């Protein structure tokens, strides 16, 4: 017989289903008999209009922080479900989640009721299943199978043993997965393996623990909002010093004091721009800056008077960066913690940082922390944090610099740079590094680069490969050359006949470059071209970095971020946007005479020829050895500074504002002192630029909250095609008409 309900019973039932507040201890029905589900509790908590937190506990457990999130608590859950409650729908922000317990399933829909994703959780194993879908899956940190993660299985193993080191480099696995169809999720806990090989993808927890399951789910079709939500969870990137975006030259085995100083002198004599000189440690090469691996004592044979040598390098406007190794597999605490132990404990961040301080006091400008592959997530983040906060103990108003090999979600909060590890000098490696750059950036790590030329020289290591890699490096946020046969990493090294010390042991496939390649006069002038271009673009780059630190959009951007409705752009793995306005298409094929380029919708300008091209199509761009295809978006305002030999060099030449007509647009030109934290106190200048394409006018005004920095009058040249107009700016609004 069918049970009849009175009005009060119906309303009570609707209240339970509609609000989803089946709270613990409030008369819910008995738990299901299955042992696997008997002690599960489900919590839903709102994070924003687009993001909610889904947590499944077992036996009253709790979420233990690993340092990746900017905060531990995200508000009171709007639902706590346990017991044998019926299927029900919970609304949180612009999202609805329908929960069924048998089996445990979460069906997620957007504000219009359109299905976005369905998560199914196996109560026995903790495995999470979800639809793979027909659109690319991106993110997941540095390395691993590229570009679209669909079709792959990823064990998410950290370090250089994680996945195909020669071509893909080191792995920094981060469980932030972007579904380009309009969703993303960060699996905060537990850590585990992803399997995207079928129509149903799976996340399988590791052996350590399967509960609690803690997922932050983003439901949104706007890519910029998805990136902003990740920044909300794990933090915005801290702003590094300006000099770190100049060129950095790395050194390996050093012969003598004279060689150290001679390399620096040659950069200045040849007028090849450079800001950073990086010195490897002994133990990784026969003769480095220190006495042995992990030591902070100087190698007297090559640095007999380190403080005086650093001062001399500073006078020539170079920054000095030292390689450092932590020998322990764990790190805990913070650099500021007082070390109360009776003996040195390198697992204590306070103790370990103290080992750096004597050398830091000599004027060292930054660090290159290596190794650390066995470290857990919390230890990796502790090391990132230590190099950011430790340096500020002695220099509280100077932005630190550290180039890391390892990290985790949230490392961007500490201004961490990352490089892709000991990759090999092959064309396949160069080709693979482009999508790796994109996925790394999509995972909230904006400051990234490779060893230009590849770390391990092979028979493929030629002047051509080096130049193509150098061109790509000029459009990575980290612009740094490093590797064995290290003298071929110098811009002039391919015309001396000297590759440097032969170091081809320990790596299968390593080889000395062919001697016929070592007298090539083309390399240095082409390197000069891209060095000078990088320094001219610093106003644009630094403004894009500032934008990254405020809204979470990376500098190296997947085309998907701005063209989500263009399937070819979404799936594009071999080119990227550099900031909002530049499209970069690295040449990664040996002997290439042409490069296929996908131009998204709208008009584009060839940077080199100024030719205007219609987008929404594929084109073939002819290339020679010195050409990297670059395209500027119609409507862009591109600031270009004068050529400098180092980022802090002063110049009385005007800044050129190149306008590419065809669409209304805006650009915020950002500037601060480049080194201190004074910008946090309002010591910054922002010039808001607006291009009105219909009126053919450019307006300049001071951005709210900013002020003019010295010099209090800025001279610009506004360039539209062949027309150039001088424009002085003193903070008062200016409009230039053409």
Determine how β-strand 630-633 pairs with β-strand 582-584: antiparallel
Residue carrying the six token digits 């790509």: 472
Report d(CA 522, CA 524) in Å as an integer. Answer: 6
> Which residue matches tokens 């089996």?
103
Output the CA–CA distances (angstroms, integers) from residue 280 to 47, 102, 187, 285, in the order listed. 44, 58, 36, 7
pLDDT of residue 349: 94
SS3 172: strand
Backbone angles phi, psi at 345, to 5 degrees: -130, 105
Per-residue pLDDT at 12: 35
Contact yes or no for 400/366 (Cβ under 8 A):
yes
Q: What is the DSSP letter of 237?
A: P
Burial 35-71 (b: 16+ CB within 10 A, else e): eebeebbbbbbbbbebbbbbbbbbeeeebeebbbbee
Run of H or E including 658 = strand 655-659
Strands 479-481 and 172-179: unpaired
Q: Quick one: CATH architecture of 652-737?
A: Sandwich (2.60)
Rounded Cα distance between 364 and 440, Å, is: 28
Joined tokens for residue 63: 């979420």
16-221 CATH fold: Immunoglobulin-like (2.60.40)
What is the distance of C-alpha 397 from the center of its chain? 24
Give the pair of three-digit tokens for residue 560: 């998907």
User: pTM of the prediction?
Assistant: 0.94
What residue ranges do the domains of the chain occupy? 16-221, 556-632, 652-737
Token digits of residue 327: 């020998």
Those residues with Cβ within 8 angstroms of residue 58's Cβ, 6 or more apart along the chain or in another chain: 39, 40, 41, 210, 211, 212
Task: Give the pLDDT confidence score for residue 31 in this predicted structure.
Answer: 35
Find the Cα–Cα–Cα–Cα dihedral 576, 579, 584, 588, rounded to 10°. Answer: -60
Which pLDDT value is given to residue 61? 79
Within a 10 A sphere around the Cβ of 492, how many other Cβ atoms? 17
Beta bridge partners of 671: 685
Look up residue 424 and give its DSSP letter.
Answer: B
Mean pLDDT in each 10-residue stretch from start to end of the chain (738 residues)? 37 35 32 58 96 92 91 90 86 96 94 96 95 98 96 95 93 98 97 97 93 97 98 98 98 96 98 98 94 95 98 98 92 85 84 94 97 94 97 97 97 98 97 98 98 96 98 98 96 95 87 92 98 98 98 98 98 98 98 98 98 98 98 98 97 96 97 98 98 98 96 95 96 96
Per-residue pLDDT at 18 = 37
Q: What is the pLDDT of residue 21?
A: 34
CATH 2.60.40.1180, applies to 556-632 = yes
Q: Could you tell me the CA-to-CA distances from 631 to 430, 571, 600, 634, 636 in Å, in that order? A: 21, 19, 11, 9, 11
Q: What stretches of 537-597 show up as alpha helix (H) in DSSP?
A: 538-551, 567-570
140: left (phi over 0), alpha (psi -120 to 50) or beta: left
Paired with 121 in beta bridges are 104, 128
């Amino acid at each position: 017989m069918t049970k009849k309900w009175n009005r009060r019973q119906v309303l009570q039932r609707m209240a339970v289903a509609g609000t989803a507040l089946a709270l613990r201890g409030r008369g819910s029905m008995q738990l299901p008999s299955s042992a696997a589900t008997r002690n599960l509790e489900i919590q839903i908590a709102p994070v924003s209009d687009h993001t909610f937190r889904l947590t499944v506990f077992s036996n009253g457990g709790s979420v233990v922080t690993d340092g990746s999130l900017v905060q531990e608590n995200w508000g009171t859950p709007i639902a706590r479900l346990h017991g044998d409650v019926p299927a029900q729908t919970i609304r949180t922000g612009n999202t609805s989640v329908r929960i069924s317990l048998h089996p445990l399933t979460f069906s997620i829909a957007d504000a219009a009721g359109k299905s976005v994703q369905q998560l199914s959780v196996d109560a026995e194993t903790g495995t999470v299943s979800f639809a793979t879908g027909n659109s690319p899956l991106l993110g997941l940190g540095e390395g691993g199978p590229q570009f679209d993660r669909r079709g792959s299985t990823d064990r998410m193993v950290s370090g250089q043993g994680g996945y195909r080191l020669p071509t893909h480099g080191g792995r920094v696995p981060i469980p932030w997965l972007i579904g380009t169809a309009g969703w993303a999720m960060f699996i905060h806990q537990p850590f585990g393996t992803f399997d995207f090989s079928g129509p149903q993808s799976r996340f399988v927890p590791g052996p350590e623990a399967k509960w609690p399951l803690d997922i932050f789910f983003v439901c949104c079709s706007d890519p910029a909002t998805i990136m902003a939500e990740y920044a909300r969870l794990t933090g915005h990137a801290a702003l590094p010093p300006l000099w770190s975006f100049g060129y950095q030259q790395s050194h390996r085995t050093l012969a003598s004091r004279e060689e150290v100083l001679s390399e620096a002198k040659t950069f200045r004599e040849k007028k090849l721009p450079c800001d950073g000189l990086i010195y490897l440690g002994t133990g990784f090469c026969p003769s480095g800056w220190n006495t042995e691996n992990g030591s902070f004592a100087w190698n007297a044979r090559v640095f007999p008077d380190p403080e005086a040598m650093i001062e001399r390098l500073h006078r020539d406007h170079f920054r000095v960066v030292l390689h450092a190794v932590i020998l322990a597999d764990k790190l805990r605490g913070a650099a500021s913690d007082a070390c109360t132990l009776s003996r040195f404990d390198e697992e204590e961040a306070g103790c370990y940082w103290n080992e750096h301080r004597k050398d830091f006091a000599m004027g060292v400008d930054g660090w290159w922390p290596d190794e650390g592959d066995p470290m857990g997530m919390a230890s990796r983040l502790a090391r990132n944090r230590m190099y950011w906060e430790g340096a500020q103990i002695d220099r509280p108003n100077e932005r630190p610099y550290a180039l890391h090999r390892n990290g985790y979600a949230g490392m961007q909060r500490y201004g961490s740079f990352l490089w892709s590890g000991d990759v090999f000098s092959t064309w396949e490696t160069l080709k693979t590094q482009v999508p790796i750059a994109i996925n790394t950036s999509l995972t909230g790590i904006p400051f990234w680069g490779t060893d230009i030329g590849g770390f391990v020289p092979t028979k493929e290591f030629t002047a051509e490969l080096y130049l193509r890699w150098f061109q790509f490096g000029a459009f990575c946020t980290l612009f740094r050359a490093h590797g064995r046969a290290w003298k071929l990493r110098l811009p002039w090294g391919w015309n001396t006949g000297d590759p440097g010390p032969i170091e081809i042991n320990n790596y299968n496939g390593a080889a000395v470059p062919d001697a016929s390649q070592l007298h090539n006069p083309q390399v240095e002038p082409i390197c000069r071209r891209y060095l000078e271009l990088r320094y001219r673009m610093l106003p644009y780059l630094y403004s894009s970095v500032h934008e990254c630190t405020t809204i979470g959009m990376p500098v190296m951007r997947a085309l998907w971020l701005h063209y989500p409705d263009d399937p070819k752009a979404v799936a594009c793995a071999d080119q990227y946007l550099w900031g909002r306005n530049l499209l970069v298409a690295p040449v990664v094929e040996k002997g290439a005479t042409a490069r296929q380029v996908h131009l998204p919708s709208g008009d584009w300008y060839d940077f080199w020829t100024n030719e205007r091209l219609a987008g929404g199509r594929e084109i073939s761009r002819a290339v020679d050895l010195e050409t990297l295809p670059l395209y500027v978006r119609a409507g862009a305002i591109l600031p270009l500074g004068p050529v400098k030999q180092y980022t802090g060099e002063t110049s009385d030449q005007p800044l050129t504002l190149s306008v590419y007509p065809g669409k209304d647009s805006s650009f915020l030109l950002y500037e601060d002192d480049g080194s201190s934290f004074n910008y946090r106190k309002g010591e910054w200048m922002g010039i808001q630029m607006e291009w009105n394409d219909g009126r053919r006018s450019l307006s300049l005004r001071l951005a709210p909250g900013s002020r003019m920095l010295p010099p209090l009058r800025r001279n610009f040249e506004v360039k539209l095609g062949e027309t150039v107009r001088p424009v002085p700016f003193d903070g008062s609004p200016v409009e230039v008409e053409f």
